[in-house]
């Protein structure tokens, strides 16, 4: 078989496996949200369909597929249908540059455990997350509903505000590693040299911005029920509504994966190479390590949602512009000064 054809098959296989796993994880993140919230609030949660309710996501998907798709009479029907597609496609595509392991050797072929090994991985991540705002904004505008429009406008203002702070925290990581390539950043965190330890302020800024970027409590103002009914997705039903719901959880998983990659050592298991294990076992343990870290961060997102109350909108914007942005600039200046001094 020609080398180029084999490489194409490997890439397609990686895309298929990663997207199937990601979609399954998104569905069960909804289940985890419901179970964890029930635990926090001393309720039972879904426990009827399957053992411990594990088949509930499948039932929910079938139910949403069978529901009637209602579109407002005065809505822009094309944009109304396009908006949820933008949200879910952007959310799933962002994972392409995140390394979930080093390499694995199958049949003598060394395969990179990353869909797209590009040298501008961080820029790709920032670009894709900035595109996500279009799905939310267009859904609010196309619905021809003032509450939906307000939710979309809030979301665009919120995402722009917090993308600046997120970008500053990422620039500090780039300065420390001298690379935009995510795999290089993970390699440089070998042992316990995690950026969480070296960049604690940047980690807090990135984490806070990730909550705002994913519209999660305490930053879920674009869909504040007491003010906007359901916000930007008020006029959506059936699978179109489900796509927004899935996009939110996909963004949570992708944000957790990026936090893991940038600050928690990625797939690195401290001193794993000293145990004398076979290369195949090492590769499997790296994937398990990455998955465990991402799962922890997803559960952290869920825990915060059911613990911290929602901010007012003026508090949200003040935090982004008056606290996180100056703090990000200060952190960047100090990081640059320390690097210059050490050199």
What mean pLDDT, rounded, does the chain reach? 88
Question: What CA–CA distance (Å, rounded) separates 265 from 252?
Answer: 18
Question: What CA–CA distance (Å, rounded) separates 216 from 304?
Answer: 9
Per-residue pLDDT at 229 exceeds 80? no
pLDDT tens-digit series, residues 310-319: 888 888 889 9
Average pLDDT over residues 261-267: 92
Quick one: pLDDT at residue 332? 94
Query: How many independent structural domains does the chain possess?
Result: 1
Quick one: pLDDT at residue 72? 87
Question: What CA–CA distance (Å, rounded) separates 270 from 170?
Answer: 23
Average pLDDT over residues 54-76: 89
Percent of the chain at pLDDT exceeding 70: 97
Quick one: pLDDT at residue 24? 92
At residue 309 the predicted structure's pLDDT band, cuts being 50, 70 and 90, is confident
Question: What CA–CA distance (Å, rounded) separates 28 from 19?
Answer: 14
How much is the pTM?
0.92
Per-residue pLDDT at 225 exceeds 70? no
pLDDT tens-digit series, residues 7-60: 888 889 999 999 999 999 999 999 999 999 999 999 988 988 989 899 999 999
At residue 143, φ and ψ (nearest 5 deg) are -75, -15
Quick one: pLDDT at residue 255? 94
Quick one: pLDDT at residue 279? 85
Quick one: pLDDT at residue 201? 94
| Phi-psi group of 317: left, alpha or beta (phi > 0 → left; psi -120 to 50 → alpha; rest → beta) | alpha
Q: Which domain holds residue 63?
A: 3-342
Is pLDDT larger for residue 127 or for residue 275? 127
Strand 103-106 to 109-112 pairing: antiparallel
The closest alpha carbon to 61, from 232, 309, 239, belongs to 239
Per-residue pLDDT at 227 exceeds 70? no
Q: How would DSSP label each residue in 74-138?
A: TS-HHHHHHHHHHHHHHHHHGGGG--SSSEEEETTEEEESSS---TTHHHHHHHHHHHHHHHHHH
At residue 226 the predicted structure's pLDDT band, cuts being 50, 70 and 90, is low
CB of 142 closer than 8 Å to CB of 80: yes
pLDDT tens-digit series, residues 154-212: 888 888 888 889 999 999 999 998 889 999 999 998 888 899 999 999 999 999 999 98
């Amino acid at each position: 078989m020609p080398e180029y054809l084999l490489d194409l098959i490997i890439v397609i296989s990686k895309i298929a496996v990663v997207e199937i796993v990601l979609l399954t994880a998104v569905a069960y993140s909804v289940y985890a949200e419901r179970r964890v919230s029930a635990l926090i609030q001393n309720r039972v949660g879904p426990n009827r369909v399957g053992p411990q309710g594990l088949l509930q996501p499948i039932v929910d998907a079938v139910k949403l597929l069978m529901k009637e798709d209602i579109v407002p009479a005065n809505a822009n029907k094309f944009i109304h249908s396009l908006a949820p597609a933008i949200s879910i496609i952007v959310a799933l595509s962002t994972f392409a540059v995140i390394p979930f392991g080093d390499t694995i050797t199958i049949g003598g072929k060394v395969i990179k455990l990353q869909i797209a090994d590009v040298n501008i991985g961080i820029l790709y991540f920032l670009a894709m997350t900035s595109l996500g705002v279009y799905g939310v904004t267009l859904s609010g505008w196309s619905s021809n509903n003032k509450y939906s429009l307000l939710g979309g406008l809030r979301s665009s203002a919120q995402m722009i505000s917090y993308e600046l702070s997120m970008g500053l925290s990422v620039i500090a990581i780039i300065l420390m590693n001298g690379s935009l390539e995510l795999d290089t950043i993970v390699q440089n965190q070998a042992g316990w040299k995690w950026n969480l330890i070296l960049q604690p302020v940047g980690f807090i800024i990135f984490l806070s911005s990730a909550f705002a970027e994913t519209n999660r409590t305490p930053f879920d103002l674009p869909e504040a029920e007491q003010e906007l009914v359901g916000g930007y997705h008020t006029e959506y039903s059936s699978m179109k509504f489900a796509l927004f719901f899935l996009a939110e959880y996909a963004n949570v998983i992708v944000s957790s994966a990026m936090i893991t990659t940038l600050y928690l050592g990625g797939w690195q298991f401290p001193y794993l190479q000293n145990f004398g294990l076979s290369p195949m076992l090492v590769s499997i343990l790296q994937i398990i390590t990455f998955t465990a870290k991402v799962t922890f961060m997803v559960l952290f997102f869920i825990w915060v949602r059911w613990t911290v109350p929602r901010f007012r909108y003026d508090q949200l914007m003040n935090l982004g512009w008056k606290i996180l942005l100056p703090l990000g600039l200060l952190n960047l200046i100090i990081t640059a000064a320390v690097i210059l001094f050490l050199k």
